[in-house]
Chain A
Amino acid sequence: MRSQLLGILVVAIVFAGDGFAQTGSPDGWLNPDWNKPAITGANRKPAPRRSLTGMWAPAEGPGAGTQAQGVQLKPNNGRPENELPYTPYGRQLYNSHRALEGKDSVLPGNDNDPRNRCEPLGVPRYNHYNIRLTQFFQDEYKVAILYHYDNRWRVIWTDGRRLPKLVDGGVEIGGELREPRFFGYSVGRWTDDYTFEVQTIGMMPDDRVWLDSTGRPLSEQARITETFRRVDADTLVWSETIDDPKIYTRPWEALRMTFRLHDPRTDIQEYYCSPSEQENYNKVFGNPAAGTKGAP
C-alpha cells in the first residue's frame, strides 16, 4: 500500500513539474505547440539565473522567423527607413547578388544565392533564415545553439577566453593566423543574471556568405553583437547588431525578436538542404516556373 502511494506521488510530481501543457503527442512524439497562451501576470514565472537552456521558437508563430523579405528589423521592401547604410563597395556587392527574395528579386534559376548550392549560411544568416525551433544547451564552458535549418550548430565560449583579434585573412590567436569560419569565433559573457552578450568575428569573406535571403552582403570584417535577454522563464529576446565597415558605414540593428519556450521533448522535423532534392526541385518546378529549362 505504501509503495503504491509512493508510486502515485512520483507520477504526480513528474507530470506536474514539467510545466508544459501536452498538445498533440501521438505515441509520445510531441508536435510543436504554436498556440500557447500568452504570458501574463497570472502565469509568468521568474527566469532562472544565467540560463538559456531550452527549446525556443518565435513567439509570434512559426512564420515570424522566416524573414524571407530580409532581416527582421529591416525588410528589403524599398521603404526609405529600411535602406541600409551601404558603403560604395557594399552597394556594388549587393547589386551583384541575384536573390529570390526582396525588392530586387529574380526568378528561380536565375539567382546566385549560395543557399541554393546548399552552402552553409554562416553567422549571422542562420539567425535570419527560417528560424523556428531552436535549441540552446550550455555547460560551464560554453553555450551551444542548435539551429533547425540544415541541423547546424554553433558554440559560444563562456570560459573567459578572449575574442581573437581580427586580422587580414582570418583571426589571430596566440600570435598565429587562424582560418575564417562560417560560424566565426564567438565568445559570450553574462552582463547580468539574465542578459547574455555574444561577440562573433572571423566569418567567411563576402564571396561565400550573404546576410539574408534578399542578397544583403556581409564581409569578413563583420563584428556581430548578439544579446539574449531572459525576460522570464518562458520568454527570451534575441537581438543582433551588425558592424561591418567594409559593407556598411555604421553599425545597425538587424534583429530584436521575442522567443517563447517550448516543450524540450518536442519532435523537430528535418529541414535539410539536400543537393539531390534541390536539383530535383529545380528540374521539376523551379526552372519551369522561371521559364527556363526543364519540365513540364
Chain B
Amino acid sequence: MSVKTLDAIIEGRRSQPQQLIEVLQDVQDTWGYVPQESMITISRELGVPLIEVYRVASFYKAFSLVPRGEHVITVCMGTACHVRGAAPIVEQVAAMLDVEPGGTTGDGLFTLESVNCLGACALGPVVVLDGVYYDHMTPRKLSRLIESIRKSGNEDTRDA
C-alpha cells in the first residue's frame, strides 16, 4: 500500500473527523478494501479514535476489510429483483464458485456480493459484473458469463 497515495487522499482533510467516511471511500476505491495500516494512519491524521475508524469501516457495506477478488459479481436483491428470481441466481453462483455471499474464491478471481437494490428495478434481476450492468439475468446467463471470464480472462459481450 503506497504511503504517498494515502497521503494524497488525506491531504486537505487533516484534523477533520467529519471527513472520515469520504476518506475511507477513497481508500476503498483505490485499493479495493481498507487495509489495517491505513486505518491507523487515518485515525492519527484525522483525529478520530482508532476504535471509531474501525467501527465506521465495519458498519458500512461499502467498505471491505479484506482484499476482494479481481472480478466482483454483485447480485441485486431488491424486492423487484427478488420477485423475479434473484435468490436462485445467488445460490447458483455461490454453489458454482464455492463461496458464501460476501466471500472471495480461493484463486482470488471472483468476489460474490449481494446488494439491497441498485435502483434499476424495472429490469430485474440485475447483476453488476465489474461495473457493467446486466438486466433480466438468469442463473444460466450468469453461469455462462462467469465461465467465459474464467476461460478468456475477459468478459463476454453483452449478448451473453
Whether A and B are associated in the same complex: the answer reads: no
Residues of chain A at the chain B interface (Cβ within 8 Å)? none
Residues of chain B at the chain A interface (Cβ within 8 Å)? none
